Amino acid sequence: MKQGCQSETGRIERLLLKHPRDAFYSQDHINRNWKDLNYTGCLDYDKAIEEFECFATRLQKEVPDIYYLPRNENTGPDSIYTHDPALITKKGAILCQMSKKQRQTEPPAMGQHLAELGIPILGTIRGGGKLEGGDVVWLDQRTIAVGLTYRSNMEGIQQLKSLTVNSGIADEIISVPLPHWQGKDDCLHLMSIISPIDKDLAVVYSRLMPVFFREFLISRGIKLIEVPDTEYDSLGCNVLAVAPRNCIVISGNPITKEMLENEGADVFEFEGENLCKKGGGGPTCLTRPILRLI
């Protein structure tokens, strides 16, 4: 199978999802686990499925090939967020190593499925290295920005460099330190504060962005759409680009949606109260693109 996702905005041709039935199992399972997972509330299982079906129906209209991760008893509800356990390069997959203890079984489970799909495993983050997909942003097909966070550490970034820059996949990795914010138990990824929409457009929450990185983006000719404070907690900054200026957002972020449309973006919104907001993962988090056109 052809693979390669060294872009955040190229048209998605192949995509990996996981259905809530295979991640959440049941309402009873959610009732027993949501507090330990640090969710903001107990999600409604049936409503989460309804929200997912709306999201997936839109993707089916846009993406030619969609694959689903199977149920795996070694993984839990967080496995719905398929973006984090692996990265996909033109030479194969890189399996991450998760910092959140409840997610540490997800990379090998995803790796097994990717191998079954015919995608080679280029490497794995090992030892003391920590790296999660939500901290990795391809600014172009040769430049990677990586959040230095409670979820991804410098050793993990150095291992990623060995697997990409040192093997000719990328030219540069930029480390982007993020603040303590709401602490170790909260999930603050680099993609919590930036969502590329096109090669020259990104949705950002600048209040959590290092000055050097914000100025770097601007120096590259990237126009920044600033998410207002009132829409940050509702995941207004988590926007999935299915193709350049073709994106999916969670409903309840009207200011961000209007700003995107003013920049010529085609914006589809869906209700994500249970599927996304309570678990802290937006539409980008729900997807692991396998192939994007460059």
Q: How many helices (H) and strands (E) does the chain have?
A: 8, 15
| Rounded Cα–Cα distance for residues 137 and 294 (Å) | 15
pLDDT tens, per residue, the chain with 294 residues = 789 999 999 999 999 999 999 999 999 999 999 999 999 999 999 999 999 999 999 999 999 999 999 999 999 999 999 999 999 999 999 999 999 999 999 999 999 999 999 999 999 999 999 999 999 999 999 999 999 999 999 999 999 999 999 889 999 999 999 999 888 878 899 999 999 999 999 999 999 999 999 999 999 999 999 999 999 999 999 999 999 999 999 999 999 999 999 999 999 999 999 999 999 999 999 999 999 998
- Report the half-sphere exposure of 137 (CA within 13 A, side-chain side): 29
Edge-first strand order for the sheet with 65-68 is 65-68, 12-17, 288-292
Q: Are 48 and 99 in contact (CB under 8 A)?
A: no
Which of 123, 100, 272, 292 lies closest to 189, judged by CA?
A: 100
Q: What is the pLDDT of residue 184?
A: 82
pLDDT at residue number 186: 81
| CB neighbour burial string for 80-104, b if at least 16 within 10 angstroms, e if fewer | bbbbbbbbbbebbbbbbbbbbebbe
Region of 14 (left: φ > 0; alpha: ψ -120 to 50; beta: rest) is beta
What is the number of other CB atoms lying within 10 angstroms of the CB of residue 282? 29
pLDDT of residue 199: 97
The order of strands in the sheet holding 201-204 is: 194-198, 201-204, 223-226
The DSSP bridge pattern shows strands 266-270 and 288-292 to be: unpaired
pLDDT at 294: 83
Where do the domains of the chain lie, and which CATH numbers do they carry? 12-292 (3.75.10.10)
Q: Is the pTM of this model over 0.75?
A: yes
Cα–Cα nearest to 151, from 120, 171, 178: 178
Tokens of 89: 């390069």
